[in-house]
Every structure is written in C-alpha cells, then in structure tokens.
Structure 1
C-alpha cells in the first residue's frame, strides 16, 4: 500500500512538472512562435520562432541585422532560438537584431508542411502540400519576407549546428539568395557531420594532397549529391541548376566553416562522408583547405573554436563567435 501511494505521488508530481514545462514553452507565446506562408495559393504554412512581429511589421527602422538559425536533427527550433538569442546578447547586438529559427515538423499537424526527420536538411520537398515545398524554398520565403517587412536590415548571418549546419551549407551551394534579396549574405555552418565538394578530388593521406581517389570500388557514388555535384539534378530545390553554375558562384559566397577543436563527432557512417574526413573537425578543416586548393581566390574562411566539442551552446557563447558576429553586425 505504501509503495502504491508513493507511485501515485510520483506520477502526480510528474504531471505537474510536465504542465509547468509545457506552459513555459515559447510555442504558447504567439508573439514569438509565429506562422508564415510559403505559397499564397496553398493553405499550408510553416512555424518559426522570432523576436519580431512577422504578421504586422512594427514599422521600426532600428533593426539592422538578421540572424537565421537552423535547428539540428532533434528538431528543437526553440532551443536553438534561445541559444542564438543568448549569443547575440553576449555580442551586445540584440537591440537591433532580428533572430529567427524555423521549426521543421515530422508530425501531421493541421495546415502545416511536414518532412521526414532528416530529409529537410538536404532541401527535400515536404511530404504534403499542393504544391509541395522544398525546405530550402522555406528558407527563401522566410528570409525574403523578413527583408520586405523590415527593409532596414542590411547584415545577414545564416547559421546552424550539426544537421542544421549541413542544411545551411548545402543551401549556400544551391541558392541565389543574395541576388534574390539584393544583400550580402554570410553563411556560418557550425560542426557539420558532412559537407559537399564542388569537384571530384578528395584528400589523400599517402601523398598529402587532393586527388581523384584511385580506387572507387567500395564507394562508387562518393561524389554524388549531396556529397558532390554528380547527379546534382537530384536535388529537389533547384533541379535545373548545373555543376558549372555552382562552380562559378559558390566559391564566392561569404561562407565561414566553423568547428570546435574538440569536435571528434562521427554521426555520418557512410563511405561518402568518410572521403570527407574522419571527424567533424577534420571534415570542416579539409573542406576549407579544399577550397584553397580548388579556387584560391575564394571568399571562404575558417574559424576553429578552441576547446569546444559538438556543442551549439559552447559555440555561440565562445569569444570566437562573438568576434565573428561583431565583424558582421552593426
């Protein structure tokens, strides 16, 4: 009987704690958890966390900066939004910065687009909707709408961590966002588990150089989308884009590879990812080195964050990222 009472008490306490936790969620705050439309002709929409009103612009001109942050595989947009806000606050830029974090959904919620747990990061189309929408088209729509409603914004950073970094990186490969919004865009992928090379060469440890792998018998598709540009037409965001166009544009995007010096994470076990390096640290470092090898006059940079592992909070709170934010934002 005593144990039964104890279990009932614990169960009741867990319900109270759950209720308190749920009530604290920003999803219950309509001033932060907001909804956008992607296609005017579709009844489906998309939710985001944002510190500015996206339905009724406040007519404020003090916003000069936009920080876009993509969540990772845990689909925890709210957590990434809060961490990004904290990072901007530490850089003393919160007063004139809009922070926005998209929330991709896998569950079937009324009037919302939905994706698989990971396919959104590669620009795949939603499972539902007429027309269906690429996750990267959501990026386009969200950023374009913010710029149209707050045209005083001039400085833009797109970032994400882990799977979110993969999304931001591959989006940078494919998108014409800078031309679409007539502004420079800065891409900051943090600790991605894999990236994409614009050519067939990969690092060879034996000769310490980038060469086309001599034996592809165990991994013949090492250079296909989304690890390379072979079969680039398989992407569902811009299937008409060509490898030649990407080679002309991507090296000159303002992109900064960002990785913690202790990020020894290995979350992509594929042979294609193995060709990119052994860990997240190794992959980002080699991807940066590859761009120096392939297109020496590129606009890509590398930031290594000292002492940080696969940790978005540690990255955003680091002095290295604070310096980066201050170099872009007014």
Structure 2
C-alpha cells in the first residue's frame, strides 16, 4: 500500500533515562542495530497486518487529555532510535517543557539485516538498506512506504478520543533523519486530517546530506542556479535528490503540486557552522549529492536560497547556522534554535 491512513494499535511504552545522547559514531552504518524499540505499532493493510517499533513517553492506547504537543524525532542512518529518544528527552528537559503535556515519539526504521540479528517476527516492517529514508516500500509481504508509517502515527495523534487537547505536532530529524523529515514534508499524505482537527504541524531539518529539488537546476559556480549537465551525473535528478523516478508514495502528484504544498509548510533548517568538511564520514558523496554542493553548509545555504528565489512571497521557512558545531546530533538537537522549534520555548538566538 502506497499511503493513506491505517488502523493502528500500540503495546506498552518504555521511558528511558536521559543519558547516551545522539553523538554520532559513523562506523559503516549497515550493521545490525543494538536495540529494538519496545513499543509496537500495528498497521492493518490490504496485504495484511504488520508491526513497527517505536519509543513513546506516554501510553497512547488510553486517552491522554493533558497532551498538547507531540514531538516526533527521527533517527539517522544508524537506526539507533534509542539514542535519539534519549536525546529527545534531554532536549525536552533542557527546554523546560512539561512531560505531562508533551508526548515524545521516536520511530525506528529497521533494515533487513536487523531481522535475523534479533530474531524478529516476519511481520516486523523492515527496509532494504536505507530505502526507508526515501519513502520506499518495505520489504516482505506488506510493502508499505516508510512515509505511510509516519501517516499512521499522525492518524493516531489526530484521534480526538485519545488526544482531545493536542495542538502541535513537530517532526524533527538530524542527518539521515533530517532527510526523512524534509522529504516527508514534501510528500506527506496525512496532513489534511490534522488541519481539519486544528492541529498545527512544523518541521525541523538539521544538517542532512542532501535535499529534494523540484526542477533540473542546481547551484552554479557563480553563486546562482543553472540547469545541471546530466552528462556529469545521469542520476542527479532522481528521487530523493529530485523529481524523477519517485516511489509510489510520492508519485501521486506532479512536481508543481509537491512544491506548492512544501512551500506552504513551516520548516526550520539548521546546519552546524563547522559541518563544512567535504570528506566527513557520514556525508553523502554520491554524484547527485555532490551536484548540490561540496559539503553540508554549502548545500544547506544553496537550498534555502533556491526556495527563497522560487517563492519570494508568503514563504514561511527559516534557515539558521548553529555556530561552532560540527556533525553532532546531540548538540544540534539541543541548540537553542532546535529547542525553540520543537518546544516553542526561547528563540533561535545562539
């Protein structure tokens, strides 16, 4: 199933201590994860039932009448949702947000090699390598998009029986997780229900390796944008870098519709001021990524200028550099600007 809202249930939750923050250690990332999240989200699809692991700071099987804000933090390539969940809790506490009114959620997108390493049941959702980052269908008998899983989480949060006072949902991600957040903000199917319920949605995109462009232009040597020479990189405009070869979940609308919807989203882009190494271990150095710039700071600045030029009026997105920080998930997600975006406290002054 490519997308849509799915019936879901979850098993008991587990809260973890605020230790072991998201300090990325980028060994080759396609190793089995150390820990599988304990909560199970059940998804019922035409192809059958599946389950998906995640962390929750409160039990969403019962009404939570005090919850006003939900923050969904997406892990990076290492799929270490436990580490990101701890970082998210630390960020919540640093912001002074009330745990009784703030629901923290950390989904975990597993790779195929995690299945045998942890003897997981066949109905556990998993993806081929990093396919979850681009919204690809899952492996196995239930080929649901990773973005449709996020839609299912959104549908749960939109249930006014469970969350009668929910006002705000924030999607946040760093590095590989920021790639998910940025592409999901482009392609999401699940936002109409939230709008109908008066629930606001915003996005925090922190230091991804790449972004999705809406046409064939890319940053040029003179500081502007120009049509990219496909002879240098034939795949430069393929999804998740551009609009060609989009997966089924994203292929229901044309590029113009996707861009118009995205330009209306409330997105905050962050990048570490020292995240400018062209050979950083976790940096995507494929030719489609290199077409966007030599390193993360350059790619982030160029992408924001690209959007500003295409949407000179009514553009509600913001870009900030976090000075003195390299590619460090813990420091980025606990920066003052990240806390302001996720929890509505403070400001983006560093």
TM-score scaled by length of structure 2:
0.79
2:158–2:193: 8 Å Cα contact kept in structure 1? no
Q: Pairwise mapping of residues 12-27 of structure 1 onto structure 2 (< 5 A)?
A: none
CA offset digits 1:292-317 (Å, max 9, x no partner)? 11111222211211211111101122
Report the CA distance shift for 1:285/1:151 in structure 2 as closer, same or farther (over 3 A): farther
What is the alpha-carbon distance in structure 2 between the residues aligned to residue 255 and residue 39 of structure 1?
31
- SS in structure 2 of the partner of residue 187 of structure 1: strand
In structure 1, C-alpha distance between the alignment counterparts of 2:225 and 2:318, rounded to whole Å: 19
Matching of residue 249 in structure 1 with residue 261 in structure 2: yes
> How much is the aligned-residue C-alpha RMSD, in angstroms?
2.1
In structure 2, which of residues 250, 253, 267 is the aligned counterpart of residue 238 of structure 1?
A: 250
- Judged with a 3 Å threshold, the aligned counterparts in structure 2 of structure 1 residues 328 and 299 are, in CA distance, closer, same or farther, namely farther
2:67 aligned with 1:63, yes or no?
A: yes
Classify 1:208/1:43 alpha carbon distance in 2 versus 1 (closer, same or farther; 3 Å): closer
Moved more, 141-150 or 271-280: 141-150
Partner of 1:209: 224
* Structure 1 position 168 matched with structure 2 position 181: yes
Kindly indicate whether the alpha-carbon contact (under 8 Å) linking 1:33 and 1:50 is maintained by their aligned counterparts in 2: no
After TM superposition, the structure 1 = structure 2 runs for residues 11-90 of structure 1, keeping only pairs within 5 Å, are 33-39=38-44, 42-54=48-60, 56-57=61-62, 59-90=63-94
Asked if the contact 1:160/1:168 (under 8 Å) is kept, the reply is yes
Normalising by structure 1, we get a TM-score of 0.83
| 1:296 alignment partner in structure 2 | 312
CA distance in 1, matches of 2:77, 2:342: 24
Structure with greater Cα Rg? 1
| Aligned residue in 2 for 1:14 | none
Q: Quick one: which of 187, 190, 193 aligns to 2:209?
A: 193
Q: Distance in 2 between matches of 1:115 and 1:74?
A: 13
Query: What CA deviation, in whole Å up to 9, does each residue of 1:190-244 have, x standing for no partner?
Result: 1101111112221112x3211213x33111332222111134xx31323222112
Measured against aligned partners, the alpha-carbon deviations of 1:19-45 in whole angstroms (never above 9, x if no partner) come to: xx9xxx986xxxx83111122663321
- The Cα shift of 1:326 comes to 4.3
Structure 1: distance between partners of 2:318 and 2:333: 18
1:11 alignment partner in structure 2: none
Correspondence 1:133 to 2:144: yes
Structure 2 unaligned residues grouped into runs of 5+: 1-19, 21-33
Deviation at 1:94, TM superposition (A): 3.6
**Structure with higher helix content:** 1
Give CA-to-partner distance per residue, 1:247-282, whole Å, 9 cap, x none.
221111111111111112542111111111111121
Between Structure 1 and Structure 2, how many residues are aligned? 295
- Separation in 2 of the partners of 1:52 and 1:325? 18
